[in-house]
Amino acid sequence: MPLKKYIRDIQGFPKEGILFKDITPLLINPEARNKCLEILVESLKDKKIDKVIGVESRGFFFGMLIAQELNVGFIPVRKSNKLPYETISATYDLEYGTDTLEIHIDAIQKGDRILIHDDVLATGGTARAVCELVEQLGGEIVQCNFLMELAFLNGRTKFCSNYILI
């Protein structure tokens, strides 16, 4: 099943000049969603994972499903001032500005083996920021998962080297 047909392009969102990759059709279709989850989990079959990070906000969808499949904890990494407990943060560049991500200080214990999941690998800034947060808390990054890549932005060069694209 070619999953690309379940990702639509939206021109000019969230602002002019940006081509947004909408995963809503993938989420709506149970067969496509299940196939996507199967591919993501298959890449982890020989890896020990303690916790899965889902990056706000579209990384939450499959991040939580992966954590459920692996029977491990799920950690939401959110934008500034969205988490209720004490956090650490990392600021990063986007293809259309800057942003800040936060994680609870008690989400990762030293030595925890972490899978990071997000929907799109673009500039690599978001992934690099999340990797920094994991490393600050003493976690070990096992792999980064993405549903798709905007290869022309060269994001691969900016973050942890283990990753998979569906």
Helix, strand, coil % in the chain, rounded to nearest 5: 30, 35, 35
State how far the Cα of 64 lies from the Cα of 72, in Å rounded to an integer: 10
- Per-residue tokens: 151: 């290869």
- Per-residue tokens: 79: 């934008």
State how far the Cα of 118 lies from the Cα of 112, in Å rounded to an integer: 19
What dihedral angle (degrees, nearest 10) is formed by the CA atoms of 165, 151, 95, 87? 30
Q: Is 58 a catalytic residue?
A: yes
**Which 3 state secondary structure label does DSSP give 27?**
helix
Annotated catalytic residue within 16, 56, 78, 95: 95
Annotated catalytic residue within 8, 31, 56, 58: 58
Q: Is 95 a catalytic residue?
A: yes
Amino acid in the structure at residue 154: N
State how far the Cα of 108 lies from the Cα of 136, in Å rounded to an integer: 10
Asked if residues 142 and 116 have their Cβ atoms less than 8 Å apart, the reply is no
* Residues that are catalytic: 58, 95
